[in-house]
Structure 1
Amino acid sequence: MSTLELYTEYKTKMQKIADVKYASAVLQWDQETYLPPKGNDFRGRQLATLSEIAHEQFVDEKLGALLNELVGKNDLNEFEKRNVQLSLEDYNRNKKIPATFVRQMSETVTRAYHAWVKARESNSFTEFQEPLNVLINLKKQEADLLGYEHHPYNALMNDYDKGLTVNIVDNIFNNLKPQLLALLDVIKNKPQVDNSFLHQHFDKDKQWSFGIEILKRIGFDFEAGRQDLSVHPFTTNFNNADVRVTTRVDENDLGNMVWSCIHEGGHALYEQGLPGDQYGLPLGEYCSLSIHESQSRLWENCVGRGLSFWKHNLPLLKTFFPKQTDHLSAEVFFKGINKVEPSLIRTEADELTYHFHVMIRYEIEKMLIEGSISTKDIPAYWNEHYKKYLGVTVPDDKKGCLQDIHWSHGSFGYFATYSLGSMYAAQLYAAIERENVSLEKDISEGNNNVVLNWLRKNIHQSGRFYLSETLCKEATNESLNPAYFINYATKKYNTIYTG
């Protein structure tokens, strides 16, 4: 069989596996948006079956033999060769996980998710503790099956950003923490800005319509996606022509919906920008979750919380909510939406204190996986460290350790990518500014394509060709350098807190 025939067979097999995975993803999206409560148990069964089928197809001996034959071929182009290399890496990794374990994990995640929803409704972590404990024990088993060096948490972080380790993240956080604390110390001695205009009554339907318009303005293609409501905002995709985002609406807090839309919109723009001709193959997938978070944080903070963006979009907001916003200038609005104030909820946090939310979760996960704490210790540890780092008293579990959906999904190893995403975002945005001297003027005139086109060219079109560090270097001529974030934040907040 010729190399072309072998590669075509490989591509066909991979795309069939993708079909099953994305069918499962549709069911997961439905589970968090429209599924009636009585359908939970059957949905868990359906998801488990599809996960098991996809896994069995991917670890099939015939696919392994095909990949091993292809990887030795010299007449593949660089993109075909990279697809095969990455698929073989994925194959060897997945081969370590039995199909029965995949099914067990899927069923456990479904139970844990619904337990989390009920626990939030009753505001009681104890209702979530045992399902979470079962899930964590499975994640420990998963780490052992995959294998790791130095720390079991490394095996789980590798799923979200290949090569990421506890040592790397600890070093970044240990360097970041004192610099953030120093900047926060300066800010707290300045006159506080006013964001009370965000906390008025904003009609739910009008907020929804405004969010749709903002998504359109940053480039989200509604012919290749849609937005819905969910408990926790998220983005999912089934191909680059079908990308779904969700948001949530609080009629007494405009910011909750606006920046959820922009944040998830950033994720969605990345998914819509991935190469469609690589469907089912590694080069049709995102680089890593750190890079994925860089896209959402860049749009949410560098663009969406920037003065230039609101010079153009505040007039639109005023057409929806004239009574609440007519008195506001773009400058006053800009300062208010960037108010720095320790808070309880990560997704509503300002972009400085946000990182302490992430660090607390990272430390909890790391200790849970290494076994130095157990699930029963989570509320106390959480509450103690929110007081220590953020100076806030956690009033209840819903506003504390039940606020995030990630643990109920089994997403252990994820949280560090949120902070890494902010670091990458600042560095990427600095590169965009260097190449486009009129960037802020363009954004103030509503031309967000200058940002989107740069990201399409330098990030989106590469898929998984590079690891995060290499992609960053290709795009910015430098490996990840957290100094870009500190410089960005210092400049921005010195402008806001000038008193």
Structure 2
Amino acid sequence: MMQTSSDTLYQQYVDAMRKIADLRYASALLQWDQETYLPAKGAAIRGQQIATLSEIAHEHSTAPSLGGLLQELMGCDNLTPGQKKNVSLTWEDYSKQKKFTPAFVRELTETVNKSFHSWIEARKANDFKIFGRHLAPLVELKKQEAQLLGYEGHPYNALLNDFDKGSNVATLDGVFNNIGQPLKNILDQIQSRPQVSNAFLHRHYPKDKQWAFGMQVLKDLGYDLEAGRQDMSEHPFTTSFNSRDVRVTTRIDEQDLGNMVWSCIHETGHALYEQGLPDEEYGLPLGEAASLTIHESQSRLWENHVGRSKAFCEHYFPVLQQYFPEQLQDVTVETFYQGINQVSPSLIRTEADEVTYHFHVMIRYELEKQLIGGNLATNDIPAFWNEQYARYLGVTVPDDKRGCLQDVHWSHGSFGYFPTYSLGSFYAAQIYRKASESIKDIDNQIKNGNTTELLQWLRSGIHQYGRMYTSEELGQRVTGETLKIDHFLQYILDKYRDIYKF
């Protein structure tokens, strides 16, 4: 009997993985439609459709034939390093998925669908109890998921690992404990100085002109509109079906220009990463992002280090004045720069400044940790939330919509995602510092509206590798060192000493 060659085996593996990817991305397309255009009465059947596709994809991804193929490939000694990595990562994914039954996958998917639509309804009614009725069974399923996956230490570790391989409570507790007091000290120094004004952001900015400006920024930063599109949603997000179909959404408040502009830039950062993943690795681990932490490092880098920089303002403020001449006629570029970087404790995470933002994340991290650990009941979320906002940020939460209903993540079952926002911000500072050392006159390039070299630097150093490296390995490869929050703290100090003169 002739032995099957490794090339043939690997092609069989690629074919199998791409069929699974086709199913998953078809489901993702239905989810994108659900958050953008789905008629309200279609919600129940849509949940059934998504659940069916998820169940079928799970059956294929846990099939004994795939397991046998992977074991054969792991015994081959003539695969390329990239092929070996794909196979080993798929084996990890396969072993993990085998812990879930198709029935569990279907129940979780259907519960997420109900939870999402109840979150939309709850936001409209400004009443957490509407959401809480569907969130409670979802939390129980996530606890069950943690038990099925297995973990060391805290059960939350099993869910954290889903978003950043190797992430755990012990490490995150250390990071947040080390960053909390230095950030509080910086905040105290800022609050001791006269406040800068951002009142100009809250004038009336017509929706259509905001949309047009946002589209211009997306295109200018390198987002390929022939491989993507932007739409409106309740909560801005990015979704990818392959590197040639990466979609973003935004939301627009006519009384808050900042709401749209920097959510557009943030989501563009995600989209640029997805569009930079290698086409030839579609359906395989090396065609997927390294982690959600690295994903957030890209979005936060573009949103803050580029989008809130003085150089960015010097280029785009005159453009904004062309769109909104009446609203910005009495505003200077310096006033604009200071205003968009105003530091002030607030209610909404996505609108928070770079200093207080991480207190928003810490609150969610502590809440999720207690929820999954069984120390907090779903019904107690609003009270816990309100107490923590008073403690960390000194603000009074007026209602559920501006409190514990503001984020979409829990309705998706994404417990363990929030810490990646802070970790991503810290990596962003470290990565951008390295980019600034590597790219000559990066500030002048941004001032001239040219971010092409920065994007190419990110593409070659980060995007092209997919899941080849963990967050820590990739950070080390790009910057020459493991994650150090000192880079972020120095960036914050330098920036806000200049703005607030302390």
Same fold? TM cut 0.5: yes
Match of 2:34 in 1: 31
Question: 1:425 is matched by which residue type in structure 2?
Answer: A
* Superposition deviation, residue 46 in structure 1: 0.2
Helix, strand or coil at the partner of 2:335: helix
Matched with 1:339 is 342
- With 327-336 and 252-261 compared, the bigger mean Cα shift is at 327-336
Q: Write the deviation string for residues 281-316 of structure 1: whole angstroms up to 9, x where unpaired.
A: 000000000000000000000000001011111111
Asked if 1:479 corresponds to 2:478, the answer is no
Match of 1:3 among 6, 13, 19: 6
Corresponding residue number in structure 1 for 2:442: 439
**Matches of 2:305 and 2:172, distance apart in 1:** 23
Q: How does 1:88-487 map to 2 (within 5 A)?
A: 88-487=91-490
Give the secondary structure class of the aligned counterpart of 1:395: coil
The amino acid across from 2:477 in the alignment is: E
Question: Which residue identity does 2:152 align to in structure 1?
Answer: E
Q: Deviation of residue 498 (structure 1)?
A: 1.3
- Distance, in Å, in 2 between the alignment partners of 1:189 and 1:395 is 26
- Residue 327 of structure 2: SS of its match in structure 1? helix
Give the distance between the partners of 1:131 and 1:154, measured in 2 at CA: 24
Task: Report the AA paired with residue 296 of structure 2.
Answer: E
Separation in structure 2 between the aligned mates of residue 328 and residue 222 of structure 1, nearest angstrom: 32
* Secondary structure at the counterpart of residue 227 of structure 1: strand
Secondary structure in 2 aligned to 1:322? coil
Secondary structure of 1:323's aligned partner: coil
1:325 shift after superposition: 1.3
- Aligned partner (choices 51, 63, 83) of residue 54 of structure 2: 51
Q: How far apart, in 1, do the equivalents of 2:498 and 2:280 lie?
A: 45
Query: Larger deviation: 321-330 or 88-97?
Result: 321-330
Q: Deviations over 1:310-361 (max 9, x none)?
A: 1111111111101111332222111100000000001011011010110000
Residue 190 of structure 1: CA displacement? 0.7
Q: What TM-score do you get using the length of structure 2 for normalisation?
A: 0.99
Give a deviation string over 1:37-95, Cα, whole Å, max 9, x none: 00000000000000000000000000000001101211001101100010001001111
**Cα distance between partner residues in 1 of 2:279 and 2:229:** 18
- Give, as a single letter, the amino acid of the residue that structure 1 aligns with 2:177: N
Residues in 1 aligned to 2:361 and 2:340: alpha-carbon distance in whole angstroms: 21
Deviation at 1:441, TM superposition (A): 0.8
Q: Describe the SS at the equivalent of 2:36.
A: coil
Q: Which amino acid aligns with 1:204?
A: K
Give the TM-score normalised by the residue count of structure 1. 0.99
CA distance in 2, matches of 1:86, 1:331: 49
Deviation at 1:416, TM superposition (A): 0.3
Structure 1 residue runs of 4+, over 4 Å off?
none
**CA displacement at 1:111 relative to structure 2:** 0.3
Give the Cα–Cα distance (whole angstroms) in 1 for the partners of residues 55 and 162 of structure 2: 18
Paired with 1:218 and 1:198, the residues of 2 have a C-alpha distance of 22
Q: Which amino acid aligns with 1:182?
A: N
Match of 2:162, SS?
Answer: coil
RMSD between aligned residues: 0.7
How far the C-alpha of 1:258 sits from its partner, in A, is: 0.1
Residue-by-residue CA offset, 1:169-208 (whole Å, 9 max, x unaligned):
0000000000100000100001110111100000000000
- The answer to which of 67-76 and 32-41 deviates more is 67-76
- The residue type equivalent to 1:292 in the other structure is H
How far off its partner does 1:129 sit?
1.1
Once residues 432 and 330 of structure 1 are traced to their aligned partners in structure 2, the CA distance between those partners, rounded to angstroms, is 25
| Whole-Å separation in 1 of the counterparts to 2:45 and 2:70 | 36
3-state DSSP of counterpart to 2:343: coil
Q: Which amino acid aligns with 2:256?
A: D
Q: Deviations over 1:140-195 (max 9, x none)?
A: 00000000000100000000000000001000000000010000010000111011
Give the unaligned 5+ runs of structure 2: none
| Cα distance in 2 between the residues matched to 1:374 and 1:72 | 48
Provide the C-alpha distance between the structure 2 equivalents of 1:17 and 1:88, rounded to a whole number of angstroms.
14
> Which structure 1 segments of 5+ residues have no match?
none
Structure 1 letter corresponding to 2:23? V
Please say if residues 462 and 474 of structure 2, whose CA atoms lie closer than 8 Å, have aligned partners that are also in contact.
Answer: yes
What secondary structure does 2:163 align onto? Answer: coil
Counterpart of 2:154, as a letter, is: H
Q: Is 2:80 aligned against 1:72?
A: no
For residues 177 and 81 of structure 2, what CA distance do their matches in structure 1 show?
A: 38
Q: Secondary structure at the match of 1:159?
A: helix
Determine helix, strand or coil for the equivalent of 1:169. Answer: helix
* Aligned equivalents of 1:46, 1:28: Cα separation in 2: 10
